[in-house]
Amino acid sequence: MSTKSITVSNIYLDNKNKLDLVKLIDVDDKNLEVKKSDVNRLGLALAGFLDYFAYDRIQVLGNTEIFYFNKLSSLKKIEVIENILKKFSVPCFVITNGLFPDIEFLEVSKKYNIPCFRTSFSTSHFIKEMNAYIEEKISREISIHGVLVEVYGTGVFIKGESGIGKSECALDLLYKGHQLICDDLIKIKKKSGGILVGYASNVMPYYMEIRGLGIINVKDFFGFKQILDKTSIDLVVELKIYDKNESINRLGNDKCFENILNVEIPKTIIPVKVGRNLSGLVEIAAMKHRAIKQGVYKSIDMLTKFIKRENI
Residues 176 and 293 in one domain: yes
Task: Give pLDDT tens digits for 200-210.
Answer: 877 777 888 88
Catalytic residue among 137, 184, 240, 267: 184
304 confidence band (pLDDT: 50, 70, 90): low
Residues 130 and 144 in one domain: no
Residue that terminates a domain, selected from 104, 137, 170: 137
Catalytic residue among 4, 30, 145, 293: 145
Active site residue 166: yes
Task: Give pLDDT tens digits for 265-296.
Answer: 999 998 888 778 899 999 999 998 888 888 77
Residues 177 and 293 in one domain: yes
More confident of the two residues 105 and 141: 105
Residue 1 in any domain: the answer is no
Q: List the Cα angle 186/192/297 in 5-degree steps.
A: 75
Residues 165 and 299 in one domain: yes
71 confidence band (pLDDT: 50, 70, 90): very high
Residues 153-169: what's their mean pLDDT? 92
Active site residue 250: yes
Query: What confidence score (pLDDT) does residue 111 get?
Result: 94
Q: Could you tell me the residue range of the domain that residue 127 belongs to?
A: 6-137
Residue that terminates a domain, selected from 137, 162, 188: 137
Catalytic residue among 211, 244, 250, 273: 250
Mean pLDDT is lowest, of 9-18, 81-90, 95-104, 194-203, for 194-203
Residues 76 and 173 in one domain: no
311 confidence band (pLDDT: 50, 70, 90): low
Query: What confidence score (pLDDT) does residue 35 get?
Result: 85
Q: pLDDT at residue 117 above 70?
A: yes
Residue that terminates a domain, selected from 111, 137, 163: 137
Q: pLDDT at residue 45 above 90?
A: yes
Residue 291 in any domain: the answer is yes
Residues 162 and 239 in one domain: yes
Mean pLDDT over each residue of the chain, to the nearest integer:
88
Catalytic residue among 57, 166, 178, 189: 166
Residue 312 in any domain: the answer is no
Residue 188 in any domain: the answer is yes
Query: What confidence score (pLDDT) does residue 209 get?
Result: 82
Active site residue 293: no
Residue 311 in any domain: the answer is no
Task: Look at the chain and report how many structural domains it folds into.
Answer: 2
Q: What is the CATH number of the domain that holds 283?
A: 3.40.50.300
Residues 160 and 275 in one domain: yes
Active site residue 288: no
Q: pLDDT at residue 139 above 90?
A: no
Mean pLDDT is lowest, of 17-21, 22-26, 275-279, 281-285, for 275-279
pTM over 0.85, yes/no: no
